[in-house]
Amino acid sequence: MAATHSLQVEKLFSVKDYVCVVSGGGTGIGLMITQALAANGAKVYITGRRMEVLENAAKTHSPGDAGQIIPVGPCDVTSKEQLEKLVQDISSKEKHINLLVANAGIAGPKGIPESSDATQLSKDLWSSESPPEWASVFNTNVTSVYFTTVAFLPLLQASQDHPDHATRSPSVIVISSMSGIMRNSQGHFAYNAAKGATVHLSKLMSSEFEKANIRVNSIAPGYFPSEMTAKSKDEDSNKSNLPDEKVQEKGHVPAERPGSDQEMAMAALFLCKNHYVNGEVIAVDGGVLNLVPA
């Protein structure tokens, strides 16, 4: 039975002394989650393909008096060899990790199904996308999530040897997308199909890895500021700006704005700390899936 003082927010969601790894942690949603973890006491290793971006994120956003943000890499998560090296590098510094955030992803080709004439529809889609482009999207958004998670399973399970392991359930947060839940292609058949696979993959892993006492959940974001959604980032902060008007133009976002860093932070801390949640997909989408068929 919990005493009232034990239900204070700083106790419920503290990740003090946690060791975390975030792929794609230098920008966008990955950086938001990295900041949230570090601000609440965690040591966060961020990785990605661009070392200068990772180093800038660590220099600019490390909290100083709380946790740490540590760049490691570079690492292309579609390469098993580079994933193995990443795990070796982190293993040389840490005996375990408490949380893996599998966040790396790409947008892929665009094919807009506008025509009601089947011949024209086929021509438009056939000419706008290619099998190699689809393969690249699936390789980054699905396959790499699987192999990244598998590579870190031993370090995750090793956290159970920690003296207070009962309060530190090792877990994985897979960043999928609301696009993997909806029936609207948004003109991104490859991306939405891949994110649908990512959603299901997170459920498969949650079931299969439960035998190792490792939880797997997923966040399915809506429109959040990132290089993917805003098409750019500020070079000094690694942050992107997505104006409210751009989201309002879409016509299917009840919140009429993009999600905030704070809202993504709350979702990540909840899944990290609530040990009674496993195999869930949490849509943080401003209400989009209330309007767009899912």
* CATH number for 284: 3.40.50.720
The pLDDT of residue 216 is 98
Domain count, the chain: 1
Catalytic residue list contains 45: no
Cis previous bond, 170, omega within 30 = no
Q: Is residue 265 part of a domain?
A: yes
The pLDDT of residue 165 is 54
Q: Is residue 216 part of a domain?
A: yes
Question: 216 with 202: CB under 8 angstroms?
Answer: yes
Question: 96 with 158: CB under 8 angstroms?
Answer: yes
The pLDDT of residue 167 is 62
Q: pTM of the predicted model, to two decimals?
A: 0.95
Rounded distance between C-alpha atoms, residue 271 and residue 235, angstroms: 30
Exactly one of 195, 233, 239, 273 is catalytic; which is it?
195
Q: Is residue 180 part of a domain?
A: yes
Q: Is residue 118 part of a domain?
A: yes
Q: Is residue 2 part of a domain?
A: no
Catalytic residue list contains 43: no
Range of the domain at 221: 13-159+166-291
Beta strand ranges found along 159-214 (DSSP E): 171-175
Across the beta sheet with 281-284, the strand order is 68-71, 43-47, 19-23, 99-102, 171-175, 215-221, 281-284
Catalytic residue list contains 176: yes
Exactly one of 191, 223, 226, 273 is catalytic; which is it?
191
Q: Cβ of 93: how many Cβ atoms within 10 Å?
A: 11
Q: Is residue 70 part of a domain?
A: yes
Q: Is residue 4 part of a domain?
A: no
Q: Name the stretches of the chain with pLDDT < 50.
A: none
Exactly one of 62, 144, 159, 176 is catalytic; which is it?
176
Q: Is residue 186 part of a domain?
A: yes
